[in-house]
Amino acid sequence: DITIYERESKPGGMVTFAIPDFRMDKEGLQFEAMQLEKVDVKFHFDISLGRDVQFDELVKEFDAVILAIGMNKARRLDLIDNNVPENLRCDALAFLKAYNEGTNLASGAQTILIIGGGNSAIDAARSAKRVNPQSKIIVACLEHEQDMPAFAEEIVHARHEGIVLMAGTRVTKCALDEENRIQISLEDVTRNATIQEFSADFVITAIGQLAESEMLNANL
């Protein structure tokens, strides 16, 4: 007998809630996942480890317990988190989950800065462009373009969709001005010289993910 406890309202984890719909067929994924019910796998949704069930309870109830919680905690970027109000920033996972649920966390933003060079950053940028078509979307990352971890074809798509790529740069200044706009300075990582300064209305950080170690430590 197999039982699956899932924190979200449907299966698929980050594939369901983080990857945008224009990148994969979510209906096909849901259909495939729920075929498990036909072989008597039991799903329990909206159940969170540490909140609704405890690890020691599961160990007593089942003969074996498999943890497959992934890495769904966004890394912090102190420069942004310490200088930008919460309503003007978020991490890529939060932005993408909201996008997949039909919500735009950056509504009304004229300029959106995404920090990071991986697939989450490019997914966030392309999603932001779809819900803010008139906005300027900028992706800034430490890696030079040929070294970015994002899929090469996704970078090409992003450029074709009008997204500005500032590869090989890092944010060195981030401050809120009197008009509640975020003043950003970008530095070339090779020359250590400021190459661009601009105002942004919203910042999305996409610098990697971690496992929720606090929850694990409390339950193991």
Q: What is the pLDDT of residues 56-70, one digit of tens each?
A: 899 999 999 998 888
- pLDDT digit string (tens) for 83-115? 999 999 999 999 999 999 999 999 999 999 999
DSSP annotation of 135 reads S
Residue type, 98: A
Whether 183 has a pLDDT exceeding 70, the answer reads yes
Q: Which of 152, 199, 155, 206 is nearest to 179 (CA)?
A: 199
- Cα distance between residue 100 and residue 77, in whole Å: 24
- pLDDT digit string (tens) for 123-164? 999 999 999 999 999 999 999 999 999 999 999 999 999 999
Residues 89/204, Cβ–Cβ less than 8 Å: yes
Say whether 55 sits in a helix, a strand or coil. helix
Alpha-carbon 140 to chain mean position? 15
